Amino acid sequence: MCDEVDARCVGQRVWVCSARAYRPSGTAAQYTVVPADPAVPLPDHRSDKLGASLGIPGITAAQLARWAARR
């Protein structure tokens, strides 16, 4: 399995959505191993805080906004 890891990807800053959902390390982990498909590169000029707010937190916020708009 480790033979399949592209060494150029190790350490790359990315944001993910549901890549680790329902798994022990979760998407909130500072470091994790995820499949390449759900990992989207986070540009150098974007902050880690922005990357952390994307994915599940962003989806949760959007769902809350839609819910609030219906009330």
pLDDT tens-digit map of 10-52:
888 888 776 666 666 666 667 777 777 778 889 999 998 888 8
* 69 has a pLDDT exceeding 80: yes
In this predicted model, which residue has the larger pLDDT, 64 or 11?
64
In this predicted model, which residue has the larger pLDDT, 56 or 28?
56
Distance, in Å, from the CA atom of 7 to the CA atom of 17, rounded to the nearest integer, reads: 22
Report pLDDT for 45. 96
Contacts made by residues 43-50, CB under 8 angstroms, sequence distance 24+:
44/13, 48/13
- pTM for the model stands at 0.59
Helix or strand holding residue 63 (H, E): helix 56-70
